[in-house]
Amino acid sequence: MRIVVTLLVAVTLAMVMLPAQAAMDITREIIAPKNAAPGQPITVAVTYWTDSWFNPPPEWPEFKIQNGVLLNTPIPNQLLTRQKNGISWSGIRLERQVMTWDQSILRLPAVDLTLTSAGQPPVTVHLDALQQAIAWPKGVEQPDRFLPARNLTLTQTISQFHAGNDKTLRAGDAVERVVTVQAQEVIPAQIPPLLYAIPGDSSQKLAPENTFAKDGRGNIEGAIRVERLRYLPTEPGTLTLPPVKLRWWDTEHQQWQRAEVPGQTLKVAASRAAGKESALRGRTGDEKWQIFILLLTLISIIAVSWFARRTLRQGIIWLAHRWQRFWQPVLLPDLAPINRRKR
C-alpha cells in the first residue's frame, strides 16, 4: 500500500512540474440566431488560446468582413479554459458586433493569422471561412423604419406651461410632449423619428437626445432616444395630440410587436385680457431706488449751479469772448507798397 501511495505522489509531482509546451491557438465563430434580420447586431467572437501565458496581451485581429460593418460598441473580454489532448488551455475571448443594413449573406473570408509571444517562435493559424444569412422577416412595410430589438418600451409625459396662475390652458400658453424610447440590442441611429408637427398649430421641435443604455456594470445594452415637441396654440379651441405608434421586430420571439402611447385632446381657452401679461415680467424691486437716485442727482446739480452761479457766469462770458475772437476776421498787411516813387 505504501508503494502505491508513493507512486501516486511521484506521478502527481511529475505532472505538476512538467513544463508547458508553449502552444498557441486561435478560434473564430459567429454568434447569431437562426433567423437574423438586417440591423440586428451579430457577435463575432475570437478566442486566443495558450497553455502558458499571453505576452503581450492579445488584440483584435485584422480580417475582412463582407456585407457588414464592424461596430465600435465596447464589449468586455472573457476568460475561458478548455482541455484538449490532455493539455489545459487558458483563453481570452474577444467579441465585436457586426451589423448589416440589407438582406444579404454576412461573410468572413478564410485568413491566416500569425501569433507571437515573448520567448516563443511565431505560430501561424488558419481560420476557415464563416458566413451567416441575413433576411428580412415577413411583413416588412418600411425598410427604412425597420427596428429590430430584443426588448422595447415607449413612454411619454405631457406638461402644460401657463402664463397665469389659473392653471387653465389658454391661447399663448405652451404644451410640451416628451416621448422616450428605450430598446435593447440597438444603436441610437436605428430608432426612427416619432413626433411631428400638427398642421395648423404652431409647434417647436427640439433636437432629439440619443444616449446608450447601460446595465449595472456599465456595459452597453441598448439605446435611449428622447424627443420633445412643444405646441404653441394661438387661438381658442381644441388641441389634439395624436397617439404615437411604433412597430418593431421582436428578435427574441421572432414576431412583430407594436408599442403605443395614447393621444390627448386639450381645450384651449381665450387668451388673457390685455395688460395682464405685464405681471409675467420679472421684477427686481429696484424701481423706487432708481427714481430716488435720479431725483437726488437733479437736486444736486441744481444746488451746485446755484452756489457757483458767479463762477459759471464768468466762465460763460469768457467762452463767448473766445468764440467771437475765434471767428473775427484778421486783417493782413498789404503785400505791395502803396506809395512808390517814380524814377
pLDDT band at 16 (very low <50, low <70, confident <90, very high): very low
pLDDT score recorded for residue 330: 66
**pLDDT at 198 exceeding the cut of 70:** no
Cell of residue 108, nine digits: 468572413
Amino acid at 271: S
pLDDT band at 287 (very low <50, low <70, confident <90, very high): low
- Cα–Cα distance between 313 and 336 in angstroms, integer? 46
**pLDDT at 181 exceeding the cut of 80:** yes
pLDDT score recorded for residue 332: 62
pLDDT band at 232 (very low <50, low <70, confident <90, very high): confident
**pLDDT at 128 exceeding the cut of 90:** yes
pLDDT score recorded for residue 182: 94
Please check whether residue 44 is in contact with residue 63, taking contact to mean a CB–CB distance below 8 angstroms.
no
Q: What pTM was computed for the model?
A: 0.65
pLDDT score recorded for residue 107: 93
Cell of residue 83, nine digits: 482541455
Q: What is the mean pLDDT of residues 110-134?
A: 87
pLDDT score recorded for residue 286: 60
Please check whether residue 61 is in contact with residue 113, taking contact to mean a CB–CB distance below 8 angstroms.
yes
Domain boundaries, given as residue ranges, for the chain: 18-134, 143-273
**pLDDT at 166 exceeding the cut of 50:** yes
pLDDT band at 51 (very low <50, low <70, confident <90, very high): confident
The pLDDT tens digits of the residues spanning 94-105 come to 999 999 988 999
Residue 178 phi/psi, 5-degree rounding, is -120, 120
Please check whether residue 228 is in contact with residue 178, taking contact to mean a CB–CB distance below 8 angstroms.
yes
pLDDT score recorded for residue 133: 92
Percent of the chain exceeding pLDDT 90 equals: 33
pLDDT score recorded for residue 92: 92
Q: What is the 3-state secondary structure (H, E, C) of the chain?
A: CHHHHHHHHHHHHHHHHCCCCCCEEEEEEEECCCCECCCCCEEEEEEEEECCCCCCCCCCCCCCCECCEECCCCCCCEEEEEEECCEEEEEEEEEEEEECCCCEEEEECCEEEEEEECCEEEEEEEECCEEEEECCCCCCCCHHHCCEECCEEEEEEEEEECCCCCCCCECCCEEEEEEEEEEECCCHHHCCCCCCCCCCCEEEECCCEEEEEECCCCCEEEEEEEEEEEEECCCCEEEEECCEEEEEEECCCCEEEEEEECCEEEEEECCCCCCHHHHHCCCCCCHHHHHHHHHHHHHHHHHHHHHCHHHHHHHHHHHHHHHHHHHCCCCCCCCCCCCCCCC
- Cα–Cα distance between 155 and 269 in angstroms, integer? 28
pLDDT band at 248 (very low <50, low <70, confident <90, very high): very high
The pLDDT tens digits of the residues spanning 294-338 come to 888 999 988 888 888 888 888 888 888 888 888 877 666 665 556
Average pLDDT, the chain: 83
Residue 44's Cβ-count burial label (10 Å; 0-12, 13-18, 19+) is buried
